[in-house]
Structure 1
């Protein structure tokens, strides 16, 4: 699965999906957004986790403004919904996704990163939402996903004032769960994806598809959804075998990292 904008490499049970517009700081053109959608829709059945990476010095510097054109309200609506459909394939697609962040994670690039399940940043990473200063608004799902990471107040501040977060402040704010030295984000992301790929598929599915929805539900609805998902997950033959292995001493116990 390769195009001029995107390359997909399969390493065992992990797919590495790489943005390949390095000369344009991996700015998101419509073609690249469509390629991301297609890559996640067409992952091989034996892939159990994925990593998104960007070639060059930046993960993704946002929307390709050279493609920004005058649209009426209807065309703008449909364009935004196209992005929503593409990033939905990342967040609620077939496998958990780890983002390997470095350099610019800006605008639409931050929207893409926010659609992943885990984010690993190296110390060169910085985050910004410059749409406010450009007279536009986020349109790739950022108004839903980014506040869930950092809160409404922080996102409002970023868009009103142009505030930029560096890697260290960004980790503290919640943009990334891991912070590593320069150049090590991809290796860490792959290691995490390989670990995730060893999980029972139904457990990964529950974490991707059920947990975010439970968080949005009233408590009594969430408890019922949790019970249903727990019953389904533990009924799988693989889950039963894993529990038996633990009970019989064939599985590692939890220890301090």
Structure 2
């Protein structure tokens, strides 16, 4: 698992370790606006397949240069002239990468800037928290390109903003920015006059202090539970709570609460 957190083992991703098990993972193809090629997807699969086992407590995901990610590397796709079968399997690898992110149990905070477009929005939607800045814009231009979403927009983006808004984005190429994007659910935080990376780091540092098993439940079980019927989800939630809420480390934190030495929830000042 040491290879998972070894920066030298990646060519298209830049990995930076911070104290406390926190890592910054940067899609490092700025000349392509960080468009995702096959090699980058494979590196994402490798990292997120082993991140939890390697002791990663939280990940800040961002892009090099001025943009987060402009989606599928259309030049690579055009040059490859793939068969339907070949491209179906490319899409399945995208799903593998993004499922490892969403269900892997390690909190992922996306620091968004510039283009979050097409497959870049699909990548961002696989993160658990999204922070945007004033330069960030969201779009699904597949309709204008003569193609169709293949990395989960019909699943995650439609879940975030609603089926018909997602359809509208693909049909018309509609672009969302600013507070409107937050209000729709494309991001949870917007930073005005500052850096989305800095705010994402602050959030990641906070969540990395949670117990790993608790974070695993939050960042994996919630998605699984939402895929179930209400009756099955209620049972599964009780099972997860039974395991998580009785872990020894949780008892220590509950004791601190009982002794009034733990911090209390207070309204924002």
1:11-58: CA deviations, max 9, x gaps? 012110001111111111111111222222343633211110111110
Q: Give the CA RMSD over aligned residues.
A: 1.3
Which residue is equivalent to 1:98? 109
Matching of residues 25-174 of structure 1 within 5 Å: 25-43=33-51, 45-68=54-77, 69-174=80-185
Match of 2:238 among 227, 245, 250: 227
Q: In the comparison of the two structures, how many residue pairs are matched? A: 257
Q: Tell me the equivalent position of 1:4.
A: 11
Rounded to whole Å, the distance in 2 between the matches of 1:87 and 1:231 is 28
Contact between 2:103 and 2:223, CA under 8 Å: does it hold in 1? no
| More deviation, 144-153/82-91 | 82-91
- Contact 2:104/2:216 (8 A) holds in 1: no
Pair 120,147 (structure 1): closer, same or farther in 2 beyond 3 Å: same
Distance between the aligned counterparts of 1:249 and 1:42, measured in 2? Answer: 38
Q: Classify the secondary structure of the residue corresponding to 2:88.
A: helix
How high is the TM-score relative to the length of structure 1? 0.96
Candidates 191, 194, 218, aligned match of 1:207: 218
Contact 2:63 2:69 in 1 (8 A): yes
105-114 or 135-144: which moved more? 135-144
SS in 1 for 2:65: coil
What is residue 18 of structure 1 aligned with on the other side?
26
Structure 2: gaps (5+ residues): 1-6
CA distance 1:183–1:23, change in 2 (3 Å)? farther
Counterpart check, 1:191 vs 2:199: no
Contact 1:102 1:126 in 2 (8 A): yes
> Scaled by the length of structure 2, what TM-score is found?
0.92
Unaligned stretches of 5+ residues in structure 1: none
